Amino acid sequence: MMATPERARRTSSVPTCPLTPPFVMLAGLARSGTTWLGKLFESMKDAGLWDTTAVIVSADHGDAFGEHNQWRHAFELWNVLTHVPLFFHVPGAEAKRIEATRSHIDLAPTVLDLMGLPKEPRFRGETLVPEMFGAIANPKPILLDLPADTENPRRRALIHGDYKLLVFNAGYRRLLYNLKADPEEKRRLNKKEPEKLAEMNALFDEEWKKLDVVKAYGGVKLKDNTYATGPSK
């Protein structure tokens, strides 16, 4: 993690001006990034590469500017930190917007598919190429995982359709949100939609059982005052 907890985690002093220095810095980075992407794309067109080259643009994380009393990124799995852009330019594919939620876990299979190579058996994601060329993009479970370390307790989440289940530590606390109606995750739906909560709980447990969890490096004291039990060599 690039940011230290003192600088990036929650703060009791929330600035009242929306144009805080971190916001201005990020806005400048965004403008610089889009400017240079534009230059890259124009150069590809000038070189005759645009019509024969696939381009993927995404990001590794979002940033918070006071949402949930948090600044910058890391430490949590709020939507503002995990919902990132994902753009594809693929020769022959018509421009469209795919509404169904997808994950970075699908990028590696997609790249291999675009190159005409078979999917690696160990990959858990699925190629997105058929959806780019017209296949129906059905909702599928999306898992998010933030392992426990020296800076944050464990966080996990499940997104399926419009709903998100946020899971704390071993699962003692679970919060349900509707990301379409409430993308800022301000309204918990545990009491209002108990049937949906039960459905998401069951789906989360089912999907998580399919994963091989890699334990953190052994011997390290974690944020919750327990110790990592993974291999030490």
pLDDT, residue 22, reads 65
Tokens of 98: 């795919």
Contacts (Cβ under 8 Å, ≥6 apart) of 57: 37, 85, 86, 87
Give pLDDT tens digits for 65-77.
778 887 777 788 9
Give pLDDT tens digits for 160-169.
999 999 999 8
Tokens of 21: 């220095």
Model confidence at 17, pLDDT cuts 50, 70, 90, reads very low
Q: Which residues lie across from 162 on neighbouring strands?
A: none
Residues of the chain with CATH 3.30.1120.10: 145-233
pLDDT, residue 4, reads 36
Q: Is 6 exposed, middle or buried (0-12, 13-18, 19+ CB in 10 A)?
A: exposed
Distance CA 97, CA 75 (A): 30
Domain 145-233, what architecture? 2-Layer Sandwich (3.30)
Give pLDDT tens digits for 135-177.
999 999 999 998 888 888 889 999 999 999 999 987 889 999 9
pLDDT, residue 16, reads 46
Is residue 8 within 8 Å of 74, Cβ to Cβ?
A: yes
Give pLDDT tens digits for 104-127.
999 999 999 999 999 898 898 999
Tokens of 11: 């703060």
Q: Is 21 helix (H, G, I), strand (E, B) or coil?
A: helix
